[in-house]
Chains A and B, each alone.
Chain A
Amino acid sequence: MSEAAAAPLAGPRPPRKLYRSSDGRWLGGVARGLAGHLGLPVIWVRLVFVGLFMADGLGALLYAAFWFFVPLGVGGVEAQKPPTLVASETSPDGRRRLVARRPDKGQMVALLLMVVVAMVFVGNVNLSGGARAYLWPMVLVGAGVALVWRQADNARRARWVEVGRRRRTVTLLRSVGGVLLVTAGVSGIFVLQGSAAHLGSVLQAALAVLVGITLLAGPYLVRMTQDLSEERLMRIRAQERAEVAAHVHDSVLHTLTLIQRNAENANEVRRLARAQERDLRTWLYKPEGTGKDEADEPTTLADAVRRNAAEVEDKHGVPIEVVVVGDCPLDERIAAQMQAAREAMVNAAKYGGEGGAVQVFAEVEGKTVFVSVRDRGPGFDLDSIPADRMGVRESIIGRMERNGGTARLRAVPDGGTEVELEMERAEKTS
């Protein structure tokens, strides 16, 4: 029946509630919100308001009432337009945010239009000279009030829409402009009342009243803003907790179910538990934004080592303990070293896994990157392996030497094998 209804909404629609639209609005978003709610083109609603405005300003009153009572909503009011104006973006910390894409020039147009309409209205209305004189100040006051109200709306909107810093000055200017307009209008009324002579004293009195009100209401206002910010903090906390709960629910409960189902398969249980633990640790201890979502190709040594170890661990079911000291970006040499290290881990997991966890140590010291992979298995003698078996020779030693590094295999005193890989970083990397 309308754009809103045509929107691809799956399932039963929630009961519709009237919201003012924060997207693509000109003034208060009332017309757009109403249009969305009623399923009419926006322009019709706007025309109706303008028409009503001509009827002794009824439209303006109505509009103001709507503006005052109807809450501001975001998106959803009209399905076709919002994407161009507001887009959701994933911010660095992984949270989804709405980002204003374009400063709303519509508002300026709207204000100009309003002034023009008001002029026409004033020009048309046939009033006695006395009353008519008051109209201009009234229009000024109205424009000022609209400007400031609109401002408050924006402040509310800014809670869920990130607005650029640049616009803060604009908002300030707008507030000041609004206040000036209202002041001018009120002063105009006084002047017209013939008390122009007393203007000075009237302004003084007004100022005094203002100061008094500020003094009386000030502490209360401060307390209120403090309460508000506290409440906002609590809400953020709650949101974070919900995020944690969601993660725990998704992955941990899932894994626990799998573990229960595979209870008799000890290896599988161990693998699941370790994979889950690794995942949870990454999620809990990694700095914001990294590793919380599935990362793509690793770009640093530490990431690469951990990734390799995790993959080998998952595949072979042998715990691999990783210690990384220092970090550096991956270049092609280090990447080759990582591949060699991965081969070494696979070997260690396959042949030395019974003796306990495989230990991987990576260190960046100056330009040298050192990786050691050790297991506590039965040990292994390179010379005793037939010459046609290329696994270790080619994929570990050969690969390292081709790239200008060295690889050493040696038996550890108390059993087990240690593979040491040493590589100089490429020159050009800083």
Chain B
Amino acid sequence: MSDPTEANGTAGSAEAPGPAESGGGPGRRVRVVLVDDHRMFRTGVQAEIGQTEQTGVEVVGEAADVDQAVTVITATRPEVVLLDVHLPGGGGVEVLRRCAPLMADAEQPVRFLALSVSDAAEDVIGVIRGGARGYVTKTITGTDLVDSIFRVQEGDAVFSPRLAGFVLDAFASTDAPPVDEDLDRLTQREREVLRLIARGYAYKEIAKQLFISVKTVESHVSAVLRKLQLSNRHELTRWATARRLV
């Protein structure tokens, strides 16, 4: 567990600020709710990404615990929620559980991006399977965070290298038995993409490396995420139980 300054896999240092790059027009706005029990951290994030003119991120609400979070999210209907994993009242997973109808909303879905200081496997896998669209650690830079927010808003998944490592690990043991449905298995390409994310490549670099477009990379990652959430097969459960992750 020695990589606290982990940048997320979407944005390399060479990359331009996210919003322009990830396809939206310059006037794009995203409404965000911050959920974290540390006021200092909320203030910090607010300062980092809150200049709406520059970043296009508008922080419309803050919450410090599970109940507050559910109330604020229901009231403000943001597009993206930055969700801390460790929260009083049941943690981020509980917020995800209680906001499940909002996530499923077809008109204007609320999407969750987990933002945590922890990169322990049980936290990561827990919130991802709870329905979060991505997971970044708190040491992420402001630019990368804004980029991640926009990606999540568009419905893409945001993986950190470490998260990619966990997912590879989780699926490694499930790939062996051939009886599994295809749905539960990662394709060769998806594994390749994940592996490159785990090796610290940015989406753009992966695209170059594999001679595919960034959009394709994103769709691969999204597919992985979907499989991870759908994957309630006993193999994954067994894997998680064996490592005391669930």
Question: A321-B200, A361-B198, A414-B14 known; A310 and B2 CB under 8 Å?
Answer: yes
A413 within 8 Å of B (CB atoms): yes
Residue among B2, B118, B168, B205 making CB contact with A414, cutoff 8 Å? B205
Interface: A289 (CB within 8 A): no
Q: Contacts A278-B2, A325-B168, A325-B172 given: A412-B205 contact, CB under 8 Å?
A: yes
Whether, in the assembled complex, B244 has its beta carbon less than 8 Å from a beta carbon of chain A, the answer is yes
**Closest residue to B4 on the A side, CB-wise?**
A277
Stretch of B17-25, B28-36, B100-108, B157-165 lying at the A interface: B157-165
Interface residue from B5, B13, B120, B172 paired with A321 (Cβ < 8 Å): B5
Binary CB contact string for chain B from 45 to 61 against chain A (1 if under 8 A, 0 otherwise): 00000000000000000
Q: Looking at B198, B205, B209, which has the most chain A CB atoms within 10 Å of its CB?
A: B198
**B2:A413 contact, CB within 8 angstroms:** no
Q: Does B1 belong to the interface (CB within 8 Å)?
A: yes
Other-chain residue from B2, B3, B6, B195 in contact with A363 (beta carbon distance below 8 A): B195
CB of A114 closer than 8 Å to a CB of B: no
The reply on A319 being an interface residue by CB < 8 A is yes
> In the bound complex, do residue A356 and residue B7 qualify as a contact, i.e. CB atoms below 8 Å apart?
yes
Interface residue? B233 (CB, 8 A): no
- Residues of B66-125 at the interface with A, using a CB-CB cut-off of 8 Å, are 118, 120
Could you say which residues of chain A place their CB within 8 Å of the CB of B13?
355-356, 376
- Of A192-200, A222-230, A280-288, A392-400, the stretch lying at the interface with chain B is A280-288
Q: Is the CB of A361 within 8 A of B199?
A: yes
A414, B4: Cβ atoms closer than 8 Å: no
Interface of B is mostly: loop
**Complex contact B169–A325 (CB within 8 A):** yes
Residue of B nearest to A420 (CB): B199
- Number of A residues with CB within 8 Å of any CB on chain B: 36
A255 CB–B CB distance under 8 Å: no
Q: Does B208 contact A (CB under 8 A)?
A: yes
**Residues on the A chain within 8 Å of B162, using CB:** 321, 323
Q: Is the CB of B3 within 8 A of A319?
A: yes
> Counting chain A CB atoms within 10 Å of each CB, which of B162, B172, B199 scores highest?
B199
| Complex interface bits, A282-315 against B, C-beta within 8 A gives 1, otherwise 0 | 1011110000000000000000001001100100
| A interface majority secondary structure | mixed
Please give, as numbers and ranges, the residues of chain B lying within 8 Å of A306 by CB-CB distance. 1-2
CB <8 Å contact, B2 and A361: no
CB distance from A76 to the nearest CB of B (A): 39
Expressed in whole angstroms, the minimum distance between the Cβ of B202 and any Cβ of chain A is 8
B142 contacts A by Cβ under 8 Å:
no
- B155 interfacial by beta-carbon distance below 8 Å: no
B12 within 8 A of A: yes
> Please, which residues of chain B bring their CB within 8 A of the CB of A313?
2
In the complex, how many angstroms separate the beta carbon of A423 from the nearest chain B beta carbon? 17
A sample of 14 cross-chain residue pairs with beta-carbon separation below 8 angstroms, ordered by A number, consists of A274-B5, A281-B2, A286-B1, A309-B2, A310-B2, A323-B199, A357-B7, A359-B199, A359-B200, A361-B199, A376-B12, A376-B14, A413-B205, A413-B208
Using A321-B6, A323-B198, A361-B195 as known contacts, list a sample of 4 further A-B pairs with CB atoms less than 8 Å apart, ordered by residue number in A: A274-B5, A277-B4, A324-B165, A372-B199
Q: A-B pairs with the 8 shortest C-beta distances? A: A359-B200, A321-B3, A323-B165, A281-B1, A361-B199, A285-B120, A278-B2, A325-B168
